[in-house]
Amino acid sequence: MEMQAKGPNHYSLLNVSRNSSPLDIKRAYKKLSLQLHPDKNPNDPTASSKFDRVKKAYDVLIDMEYREVYNKFGQDGINSSKRFDETQFFMELGVFYVTWGIMAYVLTLGKRSSLGRQWTFTGLIVMLVVEITLMTSQGSPFPSWFMPQNTEYEAVWLLHTLFPAFMNGCRSIGSYLYVDLDAQTRQLLLALQEQNKDILLVLRDVQIGVQNVQATGGGGGGGRLAAAGVVPPVGATARATPTGKIKELQDRLQVSNSTVQQAVGQLKSEKSNSNFGFYAMILGYVAFSYIFSS
């Protein structure tokens, strides 16, 4: 794998692996230098630059100290004579991951992005652990068969490069798979409320019909009981009649309807509070950016 944006890969230039010995590197350089020497390629205008690149790669990899710096920090580390400093490393690490953490949180605000936010932060934590492991290990933590010509620096660079695409993918897939349970519950409660209203209207019509029948002489059940000498229990007279039963059912439905109305009102208030928190976070982020940019 050639990371052109971060300079050439010295291992692939010399066609050696990450675990090659200095003797293997010398043999590979000798073979390539004979092939790419400008004297043997007079008709190739790029022969000199190719030969210089191979010579530069050899100079880095043959020196074990330079080789370690190159594996951890790339060609930029060689050019700046960079060495591993634990304090500086963790400061740079903190700035990078805190910045991306804030950005990921802002870009995944809202309920629809809740799954994407969880996946994004999980990936961010995994990337942090992998980077710390790669940069603080002595030697290469990779097995010899895994990416044999790539360095720890290139692996970290690849993770940093792929993370924005990973975050956007998590946002898209999470939004697609999101199910708004609050909205479904609200719709169910509203449907139940409408059903209760219809039942109350039907019961009211039935109650009026029963009262009309009793008024015209069709409800003589109470008179027959009295003529037979049967006295109903105290407080049970209203419930024993059809009108009383309908009235009891109507009262229960009214209580249920009021409970449904309260539940719908609570869901609406929670939704408004969620929207307020979303807009407050946007305003806070704008203010935060303005303060630190001025």
- Chain segment 82-133, per-residue pLDDT in tens: 777 888 888 989 999 999 999 999 888 888 888 889 999 999 999 999 999 8
Dihedral of alpha carbons 49, 54, 55, 56, sign: positive
* Ramachandran angles phi, psi of 8, nearest 5°: -70, 155
What was the pLDDT predicted at 230? 45
Catalogue the E-assigned strands of 180-241: none
- Whether the predicted pLDDT of 68 surpasses 70: yes
Helices (H), 15-113: 22-36, 47-62, 64-79, 86-107
The tokens describing 98, both together, are: 């805190």
- pLDDT (average), residues 276-284: 55
Q: What is the pLDDT of residues 215-273, one digit of tens each?
A: 776 544 444 444 444 444 444 444 446 666 667 666 776 776 677 667 666 655 555 55
Return mean pLDDT, the chain.
77
Structure tokens at 90: 């963790």
C-alpha span between 92 and 85 (Å, rounded): 11
On the CB side of 39, CA atoms within 13 Å amount to 2
Residue 123's pLDDT is what? 92
pTM greater than 0.75 (yes/no): no
What is the average pLDDT across 50-68?
Answer: 91
CB 17 within 8 A of CB 11: yes
- Alpha-carbon distance of 272 to 268, in angstroms, equals 6
